[in-house]
Amino acid sequence: MWKYEKKLQYPVNIKKKNLKMAKCILTQYGGPAGELAAAWQYLDQRYNMPDDRGKSLLTDIGTEELAHVEMISSMLYQLMKGATKEELKAAGLDSQYAQFGMDLFPSDAFGNPFNMTYIKVSGDYIADIESDMGAEQRARATYEHLMDLTDDPDILGPLSFLREREIVHYQRFKELRDYYLKIKNNTLK
């Protein structure tokens, strides 16, 4: 199906601990506009696509979103590396630590656990693709908000890369939606 390379899509090499930023970035791990939600949504929706073109695109983007989960996880581990219990508490990550230690758990920036209601499926492939376009725009906006919160180039680099991928994914979904609308309206040439 696809080849797994044991390297990140974009290098993550954060040198400075920043627990407040980690708490904010956590939302792209397990929040409603996060990478895990997108991956799961696209991989679920692919089965309802009317042809291999749609199934292939959703599989490709869904698995790329899993690669983005790896990037976000790497960022979180590096931002939290060496944190003391007192530092975690001061950053509002004490409940995360109390339940999971230094392991990651998919949640949003408020500590709310990942929720399957984030996954949007409708049984209508056009509606699903439009939902995917919206998901990519929400993720892009979240990355822009995260970028506004830091001036650290080690954090900005991966966030910028991920933001750009959201734009590309949006465009691919838009192209697929337009293709299916032409077929549906018998205007495909």
Total of domains in the chain: 1
> Is 136 contained in some domain?
yes
Query: How many angstroms separate the CA atoms of 104 and 32, rounded?
Result: 17
State pTM to two decimals.
Answer: 0.93
> Is 97 contained in some domain?
yes
Nearest to 74 by CA among 157, 1, 141, 149: 157
pLDDT in tens, 77-122: 999 999 999 999 999 998 888 888 888 899 999 989 999 999 999 9
CATH number at residue 164: 1.20.1260.10
> Is 13 contained in some domain?
no
On whether the CB atoms of residues 109 and 27 are closer than 8 A, the answer is yes
> Is 44 contained in some domain?
yes
pLDDT in tens, 30-70: 999 999 999 999 999 999 999 999 999 999 999 999 999 99
- Chain centre to alpha carbon of residue 79: 18
What are the distances in angstroms from CA 84 to CA 103, 108, 111? 14, 21, 19
Nearest to 58 by CA among 118, 137, 121, 6: 121
Q: Tell me the residue range of the domain where 108 lies.
A: 19-184
